[in-house]
Structure 1
Amino acid sequence: MSTDQSSDGNSVVKDAMPVNYKDLGSSVPKKFTSAATGELSNPSTNYTSENLPSTVTFPVEARRNQGRKRKNDQNNDTDGNYKKIRRTGKKNKPSKDNTDTEYFSIGSSSSTPREKCAMILSMYDCIRRRLNQIDEAENGTRNSHSMASTIMTDNKLKIEVQNPIGTIPGVEVGDIYYFRFEMILVGLHVQVMSGIDTITNNNDKERLAISVVYSGKYGNNMEDDDPNILYYNGQGGNNGKSDQKLEGGNLGMERSMHKSNPIRVIRGIPMKSINGASGKIYVYDGLYEIDEFWSSRNDEGFKCIKFKMVRKSGQPEVYGLWKKLDMWRRNPASRGNMVTIKDLSSGIERYPVCVVNEIDADKEPDSFTYMNRNLYAKSNPTEPIFGCDCTGTGTGFRSGSGICSFDKPNCNCLHQNDGVFPYSSTGILTFRKPLIYECTSSCQCSLKCPNRLTQTPAKLHFEVFKTENTGWGLRSWDPIRSGTFVCEYTGSIIELTDENKKDRYLFDTASEDMSEFKWNNGVELFGEPAVEASKVKTTTDSLLISSLKFGNVSRFINHSCKPNLFWQLVQQDHGENGYPHIMFFAVQHIPPMTELTFDYGKMGRRKDKCFCGTDNCRGVFG
Structure 2
Amino acid sequence: MASSIPFQDLNLPPYPTSPSSLTQSPIIVPNMEPNLETFHEEMPLIIPDPQFSRNIDSAPLAQEPNQDRRVFDRRSSQLVRMNNLTLEEQRVLREDVRRTKMLFDSLRISVSSEQDELFREGNEEGRSRIRGDLKAYSTMKNKGLWLNRDKRVVGSIPGIEIGDVFLSRIELQVLGLHGQIQAGIDFVPANQSTDGEPVATSIVVNEGFKDDQDLGKEIIYCGQGNQISNQRMEGGNLALQTSYDREVEIRVIRGFKYEGSETAKIYVYDGLYIITEIWLDIGRSGYQVYKFQLERVENQARTGTRAFRFTEDVKNAPQSILSPDISMGKERLFPISLFNDVDNDCGPMHYKYISTTIFPSTVNLFLDEDFGCGCVDGCFDNCSCCWNNGGNFPYDFRGVLIRGKPVIYECGQGCMCPPTCRNRASQNGLTKQFQVFKSGDTDSWGVRSLDLIKSGHFVCEFAGEVVTRAQAREMSINRDLLIDGKLFGDKWKEWGDLSRAVDDYVIPTYPPSQPLDFMIDLSKFRNLASYMRHENNELVANVMVQKVLYSHHNIFYPHLMLFALENIPPCRELILDYKDV
Residue type of the alignment partner of 1:100: L
What is the CA–CA distance in structure 1 between the aligned matches of 2:483 and 2:3, rounded to whole Å? 42
Could you tell me which of 445, 450, 458 is aligned with 1:485? 458
Aligned-pair identity (%)? 29
Once the two structures are TM-superposed, the CA of residue 583 in structure 1 deviates from its matched residue by: 0.2
Matched with 2:151 is: 162
Q: Deviations over 1:301-344 (max 9, x none)?
A: 34443322211111111156335335247xx2x23633333322
Residues 502/323 of structure 1: CA separation in 2 closer, same or farther (3 Å cut) = closer
Q: Deviations over 1:420-476 (max 9, x none)?
A: 221122332111101112223443333322222112233323222224447322222
Q: Deviations over 1:23-47 (max 9, x none)?
A: xxxxxxxxxxxxxxxxxxxxxxxxx
Could you tell me which of 14, 31, 35 is aligned with 1:88? 31
Could you tell me which of 542, 546, 561 is aligned with 2:517? 542
Residue type of the alignment partner of 2:20: D
Matched with 1:435 is: 407
Listed as ranges, the matches of 1:81-480 within 5 Å are 83-85=26-28, 87-90=30-33, 93=36, 100-103=45-48, 105=52, 108=55, 112-139=92-119, 140=126, 141-160=129-148, 162=151, 164-200=153-189, 202=193, 204-220=195-211, 222-223=213-214, 226-237=215-226, 240-272=227-259, 279-319=264-304, 321-328=306-313, 332=315, 334-335=316-317, 337-349=319-331, 350-365=333-348, 367-378=350-361, 381=365, 383-385=367-369, 386-391=371-376, 402-406=377-381, 409=382, 411-467=383-439, 468-469=441-442, 471-480=444-453
Residue type of the alignment partner of 1:504: D
Matched with 1:59 is: none
Residue type of the alignment partner of 2:206: S
Which runs of 5 or more structure 2 residues have no equivalent in the other structure?
A: 10-16, 57-87, 120-125
Residues 176/229 of structure 1: CA separation in 2 closer, same or farther (3 Å cut) = same
CA contact (8 A) 1:87 1:290 kept: no
Residue type of the alignment partner of 2:133: H
Once the two structures are TM-superposed, the CA of residue 150 in structure 1 deviates from its matched residue by: 2.2
| Residues 1:495 and 2:468 are matched in the alignment | yes
Matched with 1:394 is: none
Once the two structures are TM-superposed, the CA of residue 229 in structure 1 deviates from its matched residue by: 1.5
Q: What's the TM-score, normalizing by structure 1?
A: 0.73
Residues 163/378 of structure 1: CA separation in 2 closer, same or farther (3 Å cut) = closer
What is the CA–CA distance in structure 2 between the aligned matches of 1:63 and 1:227, rounded to whole Å? 31
CA contact (8 A) 2:378 2:420 kept: yes
Once the two structures are TM-superposed, the CA of residue 10 in structure 1 deviates from its matched residue by: 9.8
CA contact (8 A) 1:212 1:264 kept: yes
Once the two structures are TM-superposed, the CA of residue 252 in structure 1 deviates from its matched residue by: 1.6
Residues 328/403 of structure 1: CA separation in 2 closer, same or farther (3 Å cut) = farther
Residue type of the alignment partner of 1:426: R
Residues 586/76 of structure 1: CA separation in 2 closer, same or farther (3 Å cut) = same
What is the CA–CA distance in structure 2 between the aligned matches of 1:63 and 1:575, rounded to whole Å? 63
Q: What's the TM-score, normalizing by structure 2?
A: 0.78
Matched with 1:557 is: 532
CA contact (8 A) 1:75 1:83 kept: no
Residue type of the alignment partner of 2:27: K
Residues 89/524 of structure 1: CA separation in 2 closer, same or farther (3 Å cut) = closer
Residues 276/10 of structure 1: CA separation in 2 closer, same or farther (3 Å cut) = closer
What is the CA–CA distance in structure 2 between the aligned matches of 1:543 and 1:278, rounded to whole Å? 44
Once the two structures are TM-superposed, the CA of residue 9 in structure 1 deviates from its matched residue by: 10
Matched with 2:549 is: 571
The residue matched to 2:174 in structure 1 has which SS?
Answer: helix
Residues 325/382 of structure 1: CA separation in 2 closer, same or farther (3 Å cut) = farther
Once the two structures are TM-superposed, the CA of residue 554 in structure 1 deviates from its matched residue by: 0.7
What is the CA–CA distance in structure 2 between the aligned matches of 1:92 and 1:474, rounded to whole Å? 40
What is the CA–CA distance in structure 1 between the aligned matches of 2:397 and 2:2, rounded to whole Å? 44
Q: Deviations over 1:74-107 (max 9, x none)?
A: 1114xxxx54345533259579698634436355
CA contact (8 A) 2:28 2:280 kept: no
What is the CA–CA distance in structure 1 between the aligned matches of 2:222 and 2:338, rounded to whole Å? 41
What is the CA–CA distance in structure 2 between the aligned matches of 1:262 and 1:303, rounded to whole Å? 26
Matched with 2:577 is: 599
Residues 413/310 of structure 1: CA separation in 2 closer, same or farther (3 Å cut) = same
Once the two structures are TM-superposed, the CA of residue 261 in structure 1 deviates from its matched residue by: 1.4
Residue type of the alignment partner of 2:320: M
| Residues 1:75 and 2:22 are matched in the alignment | yes
Residue type of the alignment partner of 2:394: P
Residues 355/276 of structure 1: CA separation in 2 closer, same or farther (3 Å cut) = farther
Residues 490/536 of structure 1: CA separation in 2 closer, same or farther (3 Å cut) = same
Q: How many residues align?
A: 514
CA contact (8 A) 1:180 1:192 kept: yes
Once the two structures are TM-superposed, the CA of residue 163 in structure 1 deviates from its matched residue by: 5.0
The residue matched to 1:285 in structure 2 has which SS?
Answer: strand
What is the CA–CA distance in structure 1 between the aligned matches of 2:242 and 2:102, rounded to whole Å? 36
Residue type of the alignment partner of 1:560: E
What is the CA–CA distance in structure 1 between the aligned matches of 2:261 and 2:131, rounded to whole Å? 22
What is the CA–CA distance in structure 1 between the aligned matches of 2:426 and 2:196, rounded to whole Å? 56
Once the two structures are TM-superposed, the CA of residue 560 in structure 1 deviates from its matched residue by: 0.7
The residue matched to 2:96 in structure 1 has which SS?
Answer: helix
Once the two structures are TM-superposed, the CA of residue 297 in structure 1 deviates from its matched residue by: 4.1
Which runs of 5 or more structure 1 residues have no equivalent in the other structure?
A: 1-7, 12-61, 65-69, 392-401, 602-620
Residues 278/152 of structure 1: CA separation in 2 closer, same or farther (3 Å cut) = closer
Residues 216/439 of structure 1: CA separation in 2 closer, same or farther (3 Å cut) = same
Residues 455/100 of structure 1: CA separation in 2 closer, same or farther (3 Å cut) = same
What is the CA–CA distance in structure 2 between the aligned matches of 1:183 and 1:63, rounded to whole Å? 24
Q: State the Cα RMSD in Å.
A: 3.5
Residues 135/102 of structure 1: CA separation in 2 closer, same or farther (3 Å cut) = farther
Residue type of the alignment partner of 1:478: D
Residues 165/103 of structure 1: CA separation in 2 closer, same or farther (3 Å cut) = same
CA contact (8 A) 1:86 1:291 kept: no
Could you tell me which of 545, 553, 558 is aligned with 1:580? 558
The residue matched to 2:243 in structure 1 has which SS?
Answer: helix
Once the two structures are TM-superposed, the CA of residue 286 in structure 1 deviates from its matched residue by: 0.6
| Residues 1:531 and 2:513 are matched in the alignment | no
